[in-house]
Structure 1
Amino acid sequence: MSEKKLDLINVGRITAVFGIKGWVKVHSYTEPQENLFEYHPWWLKTAHGVKKVEIDDARPHGDAFVAHIVGVDDRDLAMEFTGFDIAIERDLMPELDDGEYYWSQLEGLAVYTQFSGTRQRLGIVSKLFETGANDVLVVVGDAESIDQKERLVPYVPEQFVLSVDLTAGEILVDWDPEF
């Protein structure tokens, strides 16, 4: 029997232990955050590969959540899971409408600007973050970019982000390279 290669996407992180009965604190990357618990199983990304776990209970706690991993019933065992990213199989993610993208689809794409009519490579998307008003692309210089600067480009379609081409692996922006 051949084992299929897992196509995983990070959806959260175990940040700390909680209490003495094996519970862990969890930070969710999903929107809304409680959607994290709709996905089963979780795959924890450890230094020794991925480990499949199931959650049998979870609840909000402050600005994050606490959860109980099946078979983990004491603090010391729970401690072994802290610091691990939580991933799920990509095909569990809901389909998005045209023009909508998961952050994980944008990370690693090459970013080109056509500011002042000349196409120039600014670098690659290293990550994204939220500001409240809009998401922001963190673009870092690479071997093919015009320089090694880090740029923060607002993810505002039609204003700064002109197109996203997942097939070509690139994003076209209208952004002054001086910023």
Structure 2
Amino acid sequence: MNKKILIGKFGKPYGVKGWIKLISYTTISKKILQYFPWYLISIKKKYVKSDIKMQQNYKKKIIILLKNIHNRTEIEFLNNQKIFINEKILPTLKYNQYYWKDLLNCQVYNNMNINIGIVTKILNNTIHDILVIKKIFKNSSKKTILIPFIYPNYIKSVDILKKNIIINPVL
């Protein structure tokens, strides 16, 4: 099975000649241009590297021009379209490295080894990423908690093989 993972999205069109901004979810923004083909699930479209006619950096953003696109009107349909790739094309990581996708469904424990919950989502707020944890305690009024992914202030350790994350604060 070819599992698709989200690596970015198209932003707003740029200029009048058909350029569009790319919003990359990769740690190094330019890496998004190394992973092809791109899949746009909502419009059932596939883009391959040869579909990109030109690319350039603009104010810490990437903008691209696709082949057969000649003006802003022709590219507007891609605004906010999510970009997916096949998971199998990601490079193999070294020991003790992981992708954000690997953190999903990890069990989260506090520094007293009490199970807090499970990671259900990762949010990016441009300053740092935030783990969304679904709490396992039924008697709590909050169903989820947010933990900034900051070593060592909040995140003490991550063990991807065991699917465990230890956090510093006692909740």
Do Structure 1 and Structure 2 share a fold, with TM-score over 0.5? yes
Q: Pick from 9, 20, 42: which aligns with 1:24?
A: 20
Task: Note the C-alpha offset of 1:153.
Answer: 4.2
The answer to whether the Cα contact below 8 Å between 2:2 and 2:88 also exists between their aligned partners in 1 is no
Distance (Å, rounded) in 1 between the aligned partners of 2:35 and 2:2 = 15
Task: Give the match's secondary structure for 1:80.
Answer: helix
For residues 44-86 of structure 1, the C-alpha deviation after alignment (integer angstroms, 9 at most, x for no partner) is 232x4x3102322110011211101222222212000110111
Equivalent position amino acid for 1:51 in 2: K
Contact 1:113 1:176 in 2 (8 A): no
CA RMSD of superposed structures (Å)? 2.7
**C-alpha distance in 2, partners of 1:153/1:17?**
32
Deviations 1:95-139 (A, max 9, x none): 111111111221x3233214324x32333241054777xx54423
Q: Which residue of 1 aligns with 2:83?
A: 86
1:51 paired with 2:48, answer: no
Shift of 1:6: 3.3
Letter in 1 for 2:46: K
* 1:161 CA displacement: 3.6
Q: How does 1:155-174 map to 2 (within 5 A)?
A: 155-156=150-151, 160-166=155-161, 170-174=163-167
Aligned: 1:95 with 2:89: no
Structure 2, gaps ≥5 residues long:
none
Distance 1:51 1:65, change over 3 A: same
- TM-score when normalising by structure 2: 0.78
**Residue 42 and residue 11 in structure 1: after superposition, are their counterparts in 2 closer, same or farther (change >3 A)?**
same
CA distance in 2, matches of 1:86, 1:59: 18
Q: Match of 2:67?
A: 70
Q: Give the conservation status (yes or no) of the 8 Å contact 2:5–2:87.
A: yes
| Identical-pair percentage | 19
Distance 1:71 1:131, change over 3 A: closer
Per the alignment, do residues 17 and 150 of structure 1 end up closer, same or farther by CA in structure 2, a change over 3 Å counting? same
SS of equivalent residue, structure 1 residue 112: strand
Which of 137, 141, 145 is matched with 1:150 structurally?
Answer: 145
Supply the distance in 2 between the matched residues of 1:19 and 1:153 (Cα, whole angstroms).
Answer: 36
